[in-house]
Amino acid sequence: MNIAQSVADLRTYFNTGATRSYEWRMSQLDAVVRLVEENEEALMKALMEDSGKADFTAYSGDVMFVRGEALHTKKHLKKWMKPRKAGSPLMLKPAKSYIQPEPLGVVLIIGAWNFPLHLTLGPLCGAIAAGNTCMIKPSEVSPKVSALVCELVPKYLDARAVHVVEGGVEETTQILAQRFDKILYTGNSHVAKIIMQAAAKHLTPVTLELGGKNPCIVHEDANLDVAASRIIDVKCSNAGQICVSADYLLVHDKIYNDFLPKLSSRIREFFGDDPQQSPDYSRIINGRHLMRLKALLDEGTIYHGGRMDERDNYLEPTILVDVPENAKVMQEEIFGPILPVFKYSELHEALAFINQREKPLALYVFTESDAVHADVEQETSSGAMVRNHLMVHASNQALPFGGVGNSGMGCYHGQFSFDNMSHLKSVMIKPTWMDPRGAYPPFDDKAMAMRKKITRWLMS
């Protein structure tokens, strides 16, 4: 594919105005729904072959997420497209003001391998709902899904408006040399900096959905049984390869010795004595990532797990204790089923531990205390915060999904995707029936004094 020509064709089609109508946008959202519903079996097979995902993880995290995003967007699209009322200050009246969402133009979506449908076709719903044309770059690390998306998209969606480009670094470099009107990237901070540098040449706005070391506080008043169940369930989902998974635990020292056995117990309860045999436990994406994770296992004491099988890209759910704060496992996002556990005595110590690090994509706290919740919420900064659960916020389309600082910029999901992919244009209408001569120069001293007096009053 000639990438430069592809972008030019997308822009030419956008400039025809064909993508602006409500009918076109709805037809494309319908196409996304049909794509995932009619090809569910093939999509699930590709997900399993690429990454060894557990069946329900692939179904809920990829296939059903895309379907749900498209259906939610269809339901609300007409309202989102309407002009939004805005007030006009007294000094500017008579006037009518409103905000009109309009499409940006050509959008680039660069997806990630851990949820390759979710992170390509999900944001595509926002892009087409906003009336844009779009180029999709799936991750080359999930080649089966990438090839299937490349095959299916032109069969279902308007091939003049949505192009899929496969490939690796070389193709991505060529793509980033083009001018887009918006870029949405999901991945790591290293690549994000490269994308921002490329975007800066064209002053292209970017949304970056990155990762981070998401902390999870378990306070002394927490419901320990519920906390253990929810932490292990989410941490082990997709073998920990989720950007909003808990990256480490901070457990109050009064409950530390009681809580660790509960974590181990939940692993055995959910996945058996040998999780490798469990149909509910996923695999690491490839051998390179498995070796990366293996190198992190020596940086503490293994309390539970640690077994691996290189032939199967398998790593057992692993709990680490006695981890030095400066260990490598605490310097980078783990993105795997390894869970370091630390203890703290006072809440301010836990918050200081968190605030010494980059701002996380998500922060979790288990507590029954509103006061503890308030302290954590007010004294930390994170893309999102959840109390007494993990990851559930990402499934709420009424909430913006995104990071802050090193964990990303911008947000999407639901209407936030639509707004992300739109320009919210300010519009103001002034009637001509009122046009006093005193509004124009020349102004003598008396007129100027009166204008200042009136302006001060109107703006007070």
Tens-place pLDDT, residues 364-405 = 999 999 999 999 999 999 999 999 999 999 999 999 999 999
Answer whether residue 243 is part of any domain. yes
Distance between CA atoms of residues 416 and 181, nearest Å: 17
Does 333 qualify as catalytic in the annotation?
no
Residues 221 and 314 in one domain: yes
Residues 241 and 333 in one domain: yes
Of 209, 220, 299, 316, the active-site residue reads 209
Residues 268 and 196 in one domain: no
Q: Specify the pLDDT at position 459.
A: 79
Calculated CA dihedral for residues 244, 246, 252, 255, nearest 10 degrees: 120
State which H helix or E strand residue 49 sits in.
helix 40-51
- Whole-model pTM? 0.95
- Are 193 and 199 in contact, with CB atoms under 8 Å apart? no
Residues 195 and 276 in one domain: no
State which H helix or E strand residue 366 sits in.
strand 363-366
Residues 205 and 222 in one domain: no
DSSP code string of 346-361 = SHHHHHHHHHTSPPPS
Q: Specify the pLDDT at position 337.
A: 98
Residues 265 and 126 in one domain: no
- Are 102 and 74 in contact, with CB atoms under 8 Å apart? no
Answer whether residue 444 is part of any domain. no
Residues 32 and 55 in one domain: yes
Answer whether residue 434 is part of any domain. no
Q: Specify the pLDDT at position 436.
A: 85
Distance between CA atoms of residues 75 and 192, nearest Å: 33
Answer whether residue 325 is part of any domain. yes
Residues 413 and 380 in one domain: no
Answer whether residue 445 is part of any domain. no
Residues 88 and 169 in one domain: yes
Q: What is the CATH number of the domain that holds 375?
A: 3.40.309.10
| Domain assignment of residue 296, given as a range | 215-402
Residues 365 and 338 in one domain: yes
Q: Specify the pLDDT at position 383.
A: 97
The number of distinct structural domains making up the chain is 2
Answer whether residue 369 is part of any domain. yes
Query: Among 402, 436, 454, where does a domain finish?
Result: 402
State which H helix or E strand residue 454 sits in.
helix 445-458
Answer whether residue 446 is part of any domain. no
Does 358 qualify as catalytic in the annotation?
no
Distance between CA atoms of residues 75 and 6, nearest Å: 31
Of 243, 316, 333, 411, the active-site residue reads 243
CA 358 to chain centroid:
17
Residues 13 and 145 in one domain: yes
- Listed in sequence order, the residues at least 6 apart from 151 whose beta carbon sits closer than 8 Å to its beta carbon are none
Q: What is the CATH number of the domain that holds 414?
A: 3.40.605.10
Instruction: Write out the two tokens for 17.
Output: 């105005």
Answer whether residue 457 is part of any domain. no
Residues 172 and 273 in one domain: no
Instruction: Write out the two tokens for 295.
Output: 């190198």
Tens-place pLDDT, residues 310-369 = 999 999 999 999 999 999 999 989 999 999 999 999 999 999 999 999 999 999 999 999
Q: Specify the pLDDT at position 446.
A: 85
Low-confidence ranges of the chain (pLDDT < 50): none
